[in-house]
Amino acid sequence: MNNFEPKTFALPHDMLPEDAEGYFKQLEVFREMMMRYQCAILEVQTKLQVLNNDMSVRHSRNPIEFVKTRIKSPKSIAEKLKRNGLEISVGNMVRHLNDVAGVRVVCSFIDDIYEVAHMLARQNDVKVLKVKDYIKEPKENGYRSYHMIIEIPVFFSDKTMNMRVEIQIRTIAMDFWASLEHELRYKKELDWSKEIGEELRECAATINKTDEKMLAIRQHIDEQKNKSE
């Protein structure tokens, strides 16, 4: 299998991440890699669509509410490389970043998250490289989500490449909290006080309780339905 072995396209040492945008965009190899990441996202989207359609026919319900995708911006790529002490280059992006291609799967209930993750992981062409279960072990600030880094083969006209994609799987409720926390974090102009952090943690705990309650209600309804069949 043909994987990308990049030549050195390093940024001049004194260049800032914000200048990386123009620099990256002028590189053909960068544009080509972005196209390839976009194709990897398409492959994952199709896999998810197939699973959802299958579940909807065989179990009369859709575990996936919606899917969002994104390609990391050149500035975020440059910032992350710099943060990790790496030279800003296309080669380092391909070698060291797992989240250039990102897919967020928003599910109805907590158990759907594990079912979707399991259904993806058992596919022959999916290699799970890393899992972070922030549901079983939430982050200190209350963040919950199930993260997987997978590698899938993508068949291009000239070669097959193993592409890495970050998949974040979470419930609607977890997504609600994470989206607002993200927005607040980027809006802040002053330092977050301890109180704000505590309040956000409390909101995350309340949301988690609601998630668990909704799951219990659905399981109760499932039981009633099974008994009556």
Provide the annotated active-site residues: 166
In the complex with ligand 0O2, the residue whose CB is nearer, 55 or 204, is 204
Is residue 69 at the binding interface for ligand 0O2, with CB under 6 A as the rule? no
* Residue at 114: amino acid letter: Y
* Residue at 159: amino acid letter: K
Return the number of other C-beta atoms located less than 10 Å from residue 125's C-beta. Answer: 12
Is residue 182 at the binding interface for ligand 0O2, with CB under 6 A as the rule? yes
Is residue 143 at the binding interface for ligand 0O2, with CB under 6 A as the rule? yes
Show contacts with ligand 0O2 in window 162-181 (CB under 6 A): 178, 181
Q: Is 104 helix (H, G, I), strand (E, B) or coil?
A: strand
Q: Is 101 helix (H, G, I), strand (E, B) or coil?
A: strand
Is residue 144 at the binding interface for ligand 0O2, with CB under 6 A as the rule? no
Which residues on neighbouring strands pair with residue 72, listed in sequence order?
none
How is residue 166 written in tokens? 């970050």
Pattern 13-52, ligand 0O2, x by CB under 6 A: ----------------------------------------
Is residue 218 at the binding interface for ligand 0O2, with CB under 6 A as the rule? no
165-189 per-residue burial string, b: 16 or more CB within 10 A, e: under 16: bbbbbbbebbbebbeebeeeeeeee
Closest distance to ligand 0O2 from the beta carbon of 91 (Å)? 17
**Which parts of this chain interact with ligand 0O2 (CB under 6 A)?**
72, 98-99, 102, 132, 139, 141, 143, 147, 178, 181-182
